[in-house]
Amino acid sequence: MSIISVSGVTKIYRQYRRFPGIIGSVRSLFTRQYSEEIAVKDITFSIEKGEAVGYLGPNGAGKSTMIKMMTGILLPSAGEVRVLNEIPHKARKNNSQHLGVVFGQRSQLWWDLPVTDSFELHKYIYKISDESYRKNLGFCTELLSLSDFINKPVRQLSLGQRMRVEIAMALLHEPEILFLDEPTIGLDVMAKDQIRQFLRAVNQEKKTTILLTTHDMKDIEEICPRMIIVNKGSLVYDGSVAALRSKLGDERRVVIEFAQDPGSIEISGLTLIKEEGSRKTFLFTRNGTTVFDYVSRIAEKYPIEDVSIEDVDIESIIRRLYKQLAAEDEESQGRQPILVGGAN
């Protein structure tokens, strides 16, 4: 049985409009006008125990709304969300023992208290046994290097330190599922790396199921073998990075270091995307001809010093997908998603 199951879920936000001015305020009392926004549109997916899934999408795609429904903060307008086989909104009290939640922008910590006091309070509220607390705190302190600032008041912590503390706190009661909304937003490269390594360890060693939203593709690469992509409320992709790569055309980047600058060269089948003197980068799409055929054809005309072939990075793939989706949106409003499905 899936640990999370979302079937046909839609969320519509309804916003009441006020008429302007004093007369308007009186009128608003009698005439209710409202606008509707479909934030999540008929989404279905399920997640198995122990998976790590990235939930992606452009701004306003409906990611936070979905996390809020899975954690029981919001109710769907239609469809059903089940987490640990319960309706999250109804089972909030019981479920909180089994869920860990980190909302990057909103803190669960006590601002003026030392970090340890927030942890102790969490231990008390969640009735964590002494042994379990010691073990989990030890795991987090070591892998997140918390000891340098664990006695400082939370308000004195840097953003990166605070995020590490938030994540540790969400894991102290050893939840089965960890939800994270943009856990690496605004952090420096080192802090991001540490959090990614930590989350990977939590998923692999403790078998905690992880679902995170992010705009940072490195988070996906390092933590999540599976990604779910949403756009304007609808699901547009559910599968692995590799499968998306091949769905969108299997592109490779070919970097050629020429013995001397050959000037501008044109080879049909290769698209020049970067020129740095004698070093040129081409984009190659697999289409029956191998990249070696192209390179040997070039080498007949121009002496080559070095060649390297790289996969296109996931960031570029997602950018391409978003561009494709935006173009499709312009072309035909409300058409069926182009890419649903595609696991491994």
Ligand X SMILES: Nc1ncnc2c1ncn2[C@@H]1O[C@H](COP(=O)(O)OP(=O)(O)OP(=O)(O)O)[C@@H](O)[C@H]1O
Nearest to 62 by CA among 12, 128, 134, 124: 12
Report in angstroms how near the CB of residue 63 gets to ligand X at its nearest.
4
Rank residues 8 and 60 by Cβ distance to ligand X and give the closer one.
Answer: 60
Segment lying near ligand X (by CB under 6 A), choices 59-67, 155-163, 198-206, 305-313 = 59-67
User: Which amino acid type is present at position 235?
Assistant: L
Q: Which is nearer to ligand X, 73 or 242 (CB)?
A: 73
Q: How far is the CB of 65 from ligand X (least distance, A)?
A: 3
Q: Residue 157: what are its φ and ψ, rounded to 5°?
A: -80, 150
* 71 sits near ligand X (criterion: CB under 6 A): no
6 is an interface residue for ligand X by CB under 6 A: no
Beta carbons of 13 and 40 less than 8 angstroms apart:
no
Instruction: Tell whether residue 186 is a contact of ligand X (CB under 6 A).
Output: no
Determine, following the binding rule CB under 6 A, whether residue 231 of this chain makes contact with ligand X.
Answer: no
Residue ranges in 17-46 that form contacts with ligand X under rule CB under 6 A = 37, 39
Q: Where are the beta strands (DSSP E) in 18-144?
A: 33-47, 52-56, 78-83, 99-103
Span from 57-65, 244-252, 283-291, 296-304 in contact with ligand X (CB under 6 A): 57-65
> Which of 128, 178 has the CB closer to ligand X?
178
Q: Give least dist CB 28 to ligand X, A.
A: 18
Q: Which residues contact 29 (CB under 8 A, 6 or more apart)?
A: none
Q: Applying CB under 6 A, what is the total number of residues that bind ligand X?
A: 12
Find, among 63, 108, 96, 89, the residue nearest to 233 by Cα.
63
Confirm if 18 and 25 have CB atoms less than 8 A apart: yes
Task: Give which of 299, 122, 102, 323 is closest to 231, Cα–Cα.
Answer: 323
Q: Copy the structure tokens of residue 24.
A: 């308007």
| Residue 63 is a binding residue for ligand X (CB under 6 A) | yes
Residues contributing to the site for ligand X (CB under 6 A): 13, 15, 37, 39, 57, 59-65
